[in-house]
A and B are shown apart, each in its own frame.
Chain A
């Protein structure tokens, strides 16, 4: 891996360090570093879905139409009352089965159905093979559904926290209901929602560590592979169980993400509260 380095540089670095540099840049380690993309993609797209579902859920929760309001309340409370890992495993499974069942209606013959009784998929032709991209997409959606419920709860609370007087003033100035909603209610809601949304984002980021449960070769799976005791017939025991070291790296990785997220959210909060009649915005 490091053969491209000139000789004088290799001499300067020294054999020991050179060995470790080579070890940590071997193919498997590079795959490990590259697998961060799955974690980050799941976090970002999961957060996007969660935000959309959060807005939708909060809108349903505030709806004047009773069944919609009940649906919003049900979504918010049931999903949050169940461990995220349960829903994270259940949703992709259920979705896969739904697709296979729909497919089975058209591709299965009575003979193939009879041969597969008591098994799944209903017949072999209906089988849907899920690769990493499919699982990643499903993981994003299920993270989005779970944390969308949290986000909906936060946004619902924040919508109610906007001072009534602000909205009344806007109405008194002759703004239409839609204008009041978008330019005043939702515009001011963010300041009250941001601390809660920051919490939801941090929960979501931590939940991305579950990707390996959906057979995605993410950072956790690679850490397990790389750290497991490595024994080859020709070289004997290459290294003993180093897994805890690799997991420690992951722990630090997540702590760093948390740290960066906090800084970013602090900046966003400062930006969103400029000109607001709150303690944070009064100075601006």
Chain B
């Protein structure tokens, strides 16, 4: 083992467990955010002014403000109700746990971003197909299941892939706000901790960056495979373009 690689491999070993915390936050919030986003996207497109106004406002507010501030706000909001609600009910250990509160706030955030992507896709679903479905006498739910949804998810998938990568990047912010309990540490915590030990910023931050980069690429790979499946009936090879930009 040469002198250059040894410290890098050592750091890679040390950061494997912290990387799981970042992965946990992402994995815990992605499915819920996906589910809620469908409702918010349909809500934004709703003819009911009240529903569409609410969904529009929610999406605008969460997309228009920094996730960092959202974390601070919801954490301090949860703290403010601690003495009056959580403590007497005996659920403060659960509500104020970063492993619960983190995914909750992430879900609130990604719901808005994903809903905007789904809404954009919903607006580009070919009108003729919906009319055809209606002409066949399909109910609203049937139209959604067999015509609108397959179109929507295929149109939205490349942008959604980017959103998932960004959501994973956003997990780096969680422990700057929420308390670090026991040996719960994410990649940013361990990078900072190792830096304070030997002041080697380049090594530790680069290895942490390597983890983020590798997991981001893995997300692109997996989502790319799903995209190929989603578009397997389409003419021409289609690939998710790797573009790393939150829309």
Contacts and interface: CB of A to CB of B under 8 A. Distances in A.
A254 B76 contact: no
Contacts of A254: 64-66, 69
A150 B166 CA distance: 13
Interface residues of B, number: 44
A24 B212 CA distance: 42
Interface residues of A, number: 48
A29 to B, nearest CB: 18
Contacts of B76: 227, 241, 243-244, 247
Nearest to B165: A81
Nearest to B192: A89
Contacts of A251: 61, 65, 69-70, 73
A2 to B, nearest CB: 29
B216 interface: yes
Contacts of B54: none
Contacts of B66: 206-209, 254
B209 A82 contact: yes
Interface stretch (B40-48, B93-101, B148-156, B194-202): B194-202
Interface stretch (A90-98, A131-139, A275-283): A90-98
Given A81-B212, A150-B245, A244-B77, A94 B64 contact: no
B173 A255 contact: no
Contacts of A93: 195, 201, 205
Given A82-B209, A255-B64, A209 B246 contact: no
B199 A119 contact: yes
A225 interface: no
B213 interface: yes
Contacts of B208: 86
A210 B68 contact: yes
13 contacts: A81-B165, A83-B169, A86-B205, A86-B209, A89-B192, A199-B245, A210-B68, A243-B80, A247-B72, A248-B73, A251-B70, A254-B65, A254-B69
Those 8 A-B pairs whose CB atoms lie nearest each other, nearest first? A258-B64, A120-B199, A247-B73, A80-B244, A243-B76, A83-B169, A206-B66, A209-B66
